[in-house]
Structure 1
Amino acid sequence: MLKQEGLYLPMFLLFFLGILSIIFSSYGIENMRENQPLKANLEQKRVIIVHGWKATPKMHWFPWLKSELEKRRFAAAVPQMPEPENPLLKDWVNKLSNIVGIPDQNTYLVGHSLGVITILKYLEALPGKQTIGGAVLIAGFSTPIPDMPRELNNFFTGKIDYKKISSSAKNFMVINSDNDPVVPLYFGELLSDKLDAAFIIMPGAGHIRQDEGFIQFPEALRSVVEISIK
């Protein structure tokens, strides 16, 4: 037993409190790390991959693309976006902004599905003449899609400024499937037209998820490499 201000505390209670302190401290440090900008050396280009609704960094082709980019000496990250089941645009844009840090011509973004509008809104909000090297927009949409879940309405308030977005990135690539059950091909066509972007149509690829067999996605890798050398 330990006497403290007239009260006896069992040793195990002090030990338990110490463990809790370590856990909460570690949690705080991990949270800080998850919100820090993606680092790269002077020779590296950075790629940040933004997942979609109800997704995680470990799903679909995201881990594969990150690994393949790192093999090619890119610095790459797939951040966990906040509350993917009930996302808020402002939180997602803030998260992306934190991971990007200072945008520059060696920064590239890859978005899938809801990650695409997140990237567009991030670029739209960039101050002044800040620009990035480019973006690859996959199975994305910039206006509400048919039967869109109510949880996503907050991503589509107000008019989108395509001119500002276009001026905030050097290159764009748009990739959509011709049989996407979630995002009809028209939305990819619209996006590529508004951004004057190269448009790649994937035949029979669905929503380009692991459910459709996409645990690897070479077309995304080729697109990132291509815009990074333009």
Structure 2
Amino acid sequence: MTDISLPKPPVRRFLLLHGLDNHRPKEHWMWWLAESLRRRGEQVLYPQFPAPDRPSLGTWTELLRAELAQLGDRERVVVAHSLGTALWLRAAQNLPDELRVDRVLLVSPLGEQAFCAENRNEEFAVPDVDPERVAAASDKPLRAVISTTDPYAPVDAATWAKELGVGVDFLPGAGHITPGDGYGPWPGVLDWCLDESRTGFGS
């Protein structure tokens, strides 16, 4: 009798959370990351959030919870960029235990000055974040990557990270870490995704 062995199921699943005005263009590092992970046999959820040009916190949070519910019982990894980081920080404070994840990477988190009517994102502002509740939403401490020239980053990013208990890596002169800043292929983010013990972050 022929022994037909089934392929082993992936040991983890990734959820990518994009930001404002992001229609998942192929030149974005998130698209590159999703494709790079999938080529390695990883399972990746990269949803298009509704109305990315006019985002709704309620609608985005509802979709986020639905996507988290599909991550299953494997290692659960979230990678968020820009407004996606604010979405995570808002949602993380009220996540039920069954939606908790293992690891979270916040790329280009937003400071208070980034939330305004002009940017169409006021309701995503993250006032009075409870560090304990945010930390409880993931097994490992959050990691953030912040550019030293990001106009939307927290004004005092080091203090912001310390108050939230977030480990942070600073990228020199990387703008808002977008394709326009040279971030299509980005080996550093792929390395972090594939190595759960990795803490330091490269460009």
Q: What range describes the TM-score normalised by the shorter chain of this pair?
A: 0.7 to 0.9
SS of structure 1 residue aligned to 2:196: helix
> Structure 2: 5+ residue runs without aligned partners?
1-7
Cα deviation, 1:130-184, whole Å, max 9, x if unaligned, reads 521111100012x522574452111126532221110110222100100113325
The 3-state SS of whatever aligns with 1:108 is strand
Residue 46 (str. 1) matches residue 16 (str. 2): no
Answering whether residue 39 of structure 2 is matched by residue 79 of structure 1, we say no
Shift of 1:100: 1.6
> Retained in 1: the 8 A contact 2:107–2:145?
yes
Question: Closer, same or farther in 2 for the Cα pair 1:95/1:191, shift >3 Å?
Answer: farther
Using CA pairs under 8 Å that are at least 6 residues apart, name the structure with larger relative contact order, 1 or 2.
2
Counterpart contact for 2:16–2:79, Cα < 8 Å: yes
> 1:117: which partner in 2?
86
Partner of 1:197: 166
- Describe the shift of the 1:185–1:224 C-alpha distance in structure 2 as closer, same or farther (beyond 3 A): farther
Bigger proportion of residues as helix: 1
Partner of 1:163, secondary structure, is helix
Q: Which residue of 2 aligns with 1:176?
A: 146
1:131-150 equivalences under 5 Å are 131-141=100-110, 143-145=111-113, 148-150=116-118
Amino acid corresponding to residue 54 of structure 1 in structure 2: D
Q: How does 1:157-176 map to 2 (within 5 A)?
A: 159-171=128-140, 172-176=142-146
**Distance between the aligned counterparts of 2:113 and 2:91, measured in 1?**
20
Q: Deviations over 1:101-126 (max 9, x none)?
A: 15656111111100001112222121
Cα contact 2:18–2:80 (8 A) shared by 1: yes
1:91 aligns with 2:91: no
Q: 1:193 to 1:105 in 2, by over 3 A?
A: farther
Is the alpha carbon distance of 1:191 and 1:102 closer, same or farther for their aligned partners in structure 2, counting shifts above 3 Å?
farther
Cα offset, 1:209, TM superposition: 0.5
Determine which structure has more spread, i.e. the larger CA radius of gyration: 1
Tell me which amino acid in the other structure corresponds to 2:152.
V
Cα contact 2:18–2:84 (8 A) shared by 1: yes
Query: Tell me, which stretches of 5 or more residues in structure 1 are unaligned?
Result: 1-40
The alignment partner of 2:20 has SS state of coil
Output the TM-score relative to the length of structure 1: 0.72
> Residues 185 and 64 from structure 1, CA distance in 2 versus in 1: closer, same or farther, beyond 3 angstroms?
farther
Residue identity matched to 1:81: F
Cα distance change on mapping 1:124 and 1:114 into 2, 3 Å: same
Which SS does the other structure have where 1:46 is aligned? strand
Runs of 4+ displaced beyond 4 Å: 102-105
